[in-house]
Amino acid sequence: MDSNTIIYIVGAVVLGVILGFIIAKALEKGKASKLIANAESESKTILKQAKLDGESIKKDKILQAKEKFIELKAEHEKVILSRDKKMAEAEKRIRDKESQISNELNKSKKANQSLESKIKDYDYRNDFLEKKQEEIEKAHKSQIKQLEVISALSAEEAKSQLVESLKEEARTDAMAFVQDRIEEAKLTAQQEAKKIIINTIQRIGTEEAVDNCVSVFNIESDDVKGRIIGREGRNIRAIEAATGVEIIVDDTPEAIILSCFDSVRREIARLSLHKLVTDGRIHPARIEEVVRKTEKQIEQEIIEVGKRTVIDLGIHGLHPELIKMVGRMKYRSSYGQNLLQHSREVAKLCGVMAAELGLNPKLAKRAGLLHDIGKVPSSETDVETPHAILGMQWAEKHGEKPEVCNAIGAHHDEIEMTTLLSPIIQVCDAISGARPGARRQVLDSYIQRLKDLEDVAFGFTGVKKAYAIQAGRELRVIVESEKVTDDKAASLSFEISQKIQTDMTYPGQVKVTVIRETRAVNIAK
């Protein structure tokens, strides 16, 4: 192609481009005008809608403001009404108070007027009575003078004679009254005391056991005796040295006697021998080992016995040391009576008797169980102190109550009794210990004591017969009615009891009964 053609083509292209650009601009301008028109219409719509929404919101806010105003107004009116109501109530109370005060003032005025009138009336009556009193005194003096002239005695002399006669009469009446009351009190007190003691004894049933100072250890055959004795007696000497118990091996078949006053040591020796014989190894070293183990076992058993005793009697809060002493009483005896059984019996008797008398039975049981703990001394120096005082000191040391301590210390009259519990312990101790069979007593001395009781009665004039009965607890005296009157019988009973009390030694109490009777005998033929 030539250059002109190329120019023409280029020009055509350029022209086409220009025309296309112009056409495009024209189209864009049309679209822009349309867009502007649409935008203007949308803006008008939006403005219109905004105005409508603004009006709606404005109306809503106005309505809300009105409702809030009405609500606040109602609340304000309620507060005002409440205040008005309170003010009205206060005004009413004030009016009521004023009315009440005015009524009280009126009553006070009336009372003052009445009081004034009564005072005037009293003054008038007082003046009248004073005048009458003066007249009466004058008349009395005149009568006294006339009586003095008639009787030839002064007023003082007549008064003294009258007082003396009244004194004598009053003394006689008082003596008769006192005697009647004393007899009635004695009768009632004796009946009640007997009733309480009998009921108490009947409700307690305790087996009596008498302890000895020896124990018998039974063996299967006499061959064991030789093993117990050992070569040249070394085993038996080792047992005696370790336990402090005398071992008696004699001709008694299948038995060895253990002798010791201490029941604990005797029991240790018996159990040790039983273990040694059962084990079969009997030599000094083994003996010492077994005795040590047995001592620990007995010590533990003592504590267990004390705990069981305390639990059985329903006693709580006892100090461990006192519980241990209670357990040791199992291996002690008093006049042949087992000390633990005696203390248990006394505790039960005290509980029943205290309940009958309206006292605290638990406290009475506590004092009854502990009353003889002084009989199990823990050292040699304690032996020199009376067991009642020693028991009281231990009870005080371990925090027992003063009533219990006084009952322990006073049950043998070493100290003064300060509570009602003390005589109960003393009586129950006597009941338990003095009952026939409770304690060992030599027959000869027992019979001699009964004879001495009867001889004391025969030492008085007018005594025909005398019998010691109830194991020496009662002396029954029969007198001759011709020689002894009823009044003399009462004094004779007192004199015999005083004679027994001063001249004889005996456990418990002795009742002296004097019997006087008259008999009229005739025979019909």
CATH number, domain of 420, equals 1.10.3210.10
Residues 41 and 136 in one domain: yes
Model confidence at 151, in pLDDT bands (50, 70, 90)? low
* Burial classification of residue 106, based on how many CB atoms lie within 10 Å of its CB (0-12 exposed, 13-18 middle, 19 or more buried): exposed
pLDDT of the residue at 25: 75
Mean pLDDT of 380-403: 80
The answer to whether 301 and 263 have CB atoms below 8 angstroms apart is no
Q: Hey, how many other C-beta atoms are within 10 angstroms of the C-beta on 241? A: 12
Global pTM exceeds 0.85: no
Question: Does the residue 178 lie in any domain?
Answer: no
Tokens linked to 293: 């183990």
3-class SS at 357? Answer: coil
Question: Does the residue 210 lie in any domain?
Answer: no
pLDDT of the residue at 15: 78
pLDDT of the residue at 64: 87
Question: Does the residue 285 lie in any domain?
Answer: yes
- The set of long-range contacts for 412-420, using a CB threshold of 8 Å and a minimum separation of 24, is 412/386, 412/388, 414/386, 414/388, 414/389, 415/388, 415/389, 420/357, 420/359
Mean pLDDT of 50-57: 83
Residues 289 and 336 in one domain: no
CA distance 390 to 372: 9
Residue 419 per-residue DSSP state = S
Mean pLDDT of 126-145: 83
Last residue of a domain, one of 434, 456, 483: 434
The amino acid that residue 454 corresponds to is E
Residues 36 and 140 in one domain: yes
pLDDT of the residue at 253: 72
The whole-angstrom distance between residue 237's C-alpha and the CA centroid of its chain comes to 53
Last residue of a domain, one of 392, 410, 434: 434
Mean pLDDT of 277-302: 84
Mean pLDDT of 396-424: 87
Mean pLDDT of 228-232: 76
Question: Does the residue 150 lie in any domain?
Answer: no
Q: What percent of the chain has pLDDT over 70?
A: 82
CATH number, domain of 477, equals 3.30.70.1350
Question: Does the residue 206 lie in any domain?
Answer: no
Instruction: List, for residues 162-176, the tens digit of each pLDDT value.
Output: 677 777 777 677 766
Last residue of a domain, one of 397, 414, 434: 434
Residues 55 and 84 in one domain: yes
pLDDT of the residue at 207: 46
C-alpha separations of 514 from 431, 476, 477 in Å: 24, 6, 5
Residues 64 and 119 in one domain: yes
pLDDT of the residue at 209: 43
Model confidence at 378, in pLDDT bands (50, 70, 90)? low
| Residue 210 pLDDT exceeds 50 | no
Residues 274 and 333 in one domain: no
Mean pLDDT of 266-270: 82
* Phi, psi dihedral angles at 209 (to 5 degrees): -135, 135
Closest to 277 (Cα-Cα) out of 216, 237, 228, 229 = 228
Between 165 and 16, the more confident residue is 16
Mean pLDDT of 262-277: 80
Residues 333 and 425 in one domain: yes
Model confidence at 431, in pLDDT bands (50, 70, 90)? confident
3-state helix, strand, coil in the chain (%, to 5): 70, 5, 20
Model confidence at 187, in pLDDT bands (50, 70, 90)? low
| Residue 282 pLDDT exceeds 70 | yes
Instruction: List, for residues 87-104, the tens digit of each pLDDT value.
Output: 888 888 898 888 888 888
Residues 426 and 451 in one domain: no
Ramachandran area for residue 389 (φ above 0: left; ψ -120 to 50: alpha; else beta): alpha
Angle ∠(57,61,64) on CA atoms, nearest 5: 140
Question: Does the residue 430 lie in any domain?
Answer: yes
Residues 402 and 494 in one domain: no
Residues 265 and 340 in one domain: no
- Which domain range does residue 273 map to? 216-300
The answer to whether 415 and 393 have CB atoms below 8 angstroms apart is no
Q: What percent of the chain has pLDDT over 90?
A: 0
| Residue 316 pLDDT exceeds 60 | yes
Mean pLDDT of 477-503: 87
pLDDT of the residue at 134: 86
User: Looking at the 3D structure of the chain, how many domains does it have?
Assistant: 4
pLDDT of the residue at 225: 73
Question: Does the residue 522 lie in any domain?
Answer: no
C-alpha separations of 307 from 286, 298, 311 in Å: 32, 14, 6
511-515 and 474-479 beta bridge pairing: parallel
Model confidence at 382, in pLDDT bands (50, 70, 90)? low
CATH number, domain of 287, equals 3.30.1370.10
Residues 47 and 82 in one domain: yes
Residues 221 and 290 in one domain: yes
Ramachandran area for residue 421 (φ above 0: left; ψ -120 to 50: alpha; else beta): alpha
